[in-house]
Amino acid sequence: MKKTTLQKIARILKKVFLWLFLSQLVYIIILRWVNPPFTITQLASFVRGNGLKRDYISYKNMGSNAKLAVLAGEDQQFPDHNGFDIKAIKLAVKYNKKHPTKIRGASTISQQVAKNVFLWQGGGFFRKGLEVYFTFMIETFWGKERILQMYLNIAEMGEGIFGIQAAAKNYFAKDALNLTRAEAAQIAAALPNPVRFTIKPLSKYVATRSQNILQQMNNLDDDEDVAALIK
């Protein structure tokens, strides 16, 4: 009797797992062309009363300066890796062992998109495991251009501000397409913590880091893979 019951439960769990797998697979494929209606982070911002300023735009309307700035500030190896920057991960592990109170991350743009679109903020092995899975899936089904477009459309860029278009409108009263290098660098500089590191008013952190990002943007100008991606 107990064996029969366990077999029934196992069959049910198998069907549920299969249904969940197929559902998320279909959703991932759909998002190759369709923008997500909302993310958990966006919903949480709205519930907390921070509002939800968001305006999805096409890849070409983002402008090359915004694309280059986030690559320079967040993931310079983005065009070349498979979703994970192994060298950066090893350096982060080594750094964190020496500085346990100052944790350094090594998330690529692909990993950040996987987290922001499908998961929630925060750490933990379970969430990290899911992040690895979704990173692999979007690298497989979306491609670099779509991943970068998604990042620039959904990343939090201020309290209640999501995406490069909303950020450009809010901070500089212009479209993302028309951002200067300096303006794009300031937005990219705030990304590690866009609520704490403000652009308007310009925080000391953003002012300093944006200058470094500008220099990195200049260094990436001659990178053919980067140039092909941001055009």
pLDDT class of 32 with cuts at 50, 70, 90: very high
Contact criterion met (CB below 8 Å) for 72 and 213: yes
Domain ranges of the chain: 31-230
pLDDT at 122: 79
Write the DSSP string, 125-143.
HHHHHHHHHHHHHHHHHT-
Q: Tens digit of pLDDT for each residue in 97-109? A: 564 555 455 699 9
pLDDT class of 61 with cuts at 50, 70, 90: very high
The residues pairing with 156 across neighbouring beta strands, listed in sequence order, are 162
Here the tokens at position 119 are 């998961």
Rounded to whole angstroms, the Cα distance separating 154 from 152 reads 6
Q: Which residues contact 181 (CB under 8 A, 6 or more apart)?
A: 65, 68, 69, 214, 217
Q: Alpha helices of 50-124 — where are they, by DSSP H?
A: 64-74, 86-98, 109-118
Amino acid at 14: K
Q: Does domain 31-230 have CATH number 2.40.50.140?
A: no
Contact criterion met (CB below 8 Å) for 56 and 176: no
Q: Tell me the pTM.
A: 0.89
Rounded to whole angstroms, the Cα distance separating 179 from 165 reads 10
pLDDT at 100: 56
Rounded to whole angstroms, the Cα distance separating 31 from 151 reads 13
23-32, 44-53, 55-64, 69-78: which has the minimum mean pLDDT? 44-53
Residue % of the chain over a pLDDT of 90: 77
C-alpha distances (whole Å) from 59 to each of 62, 67, 100, 229 are 5, 9, 39, 10
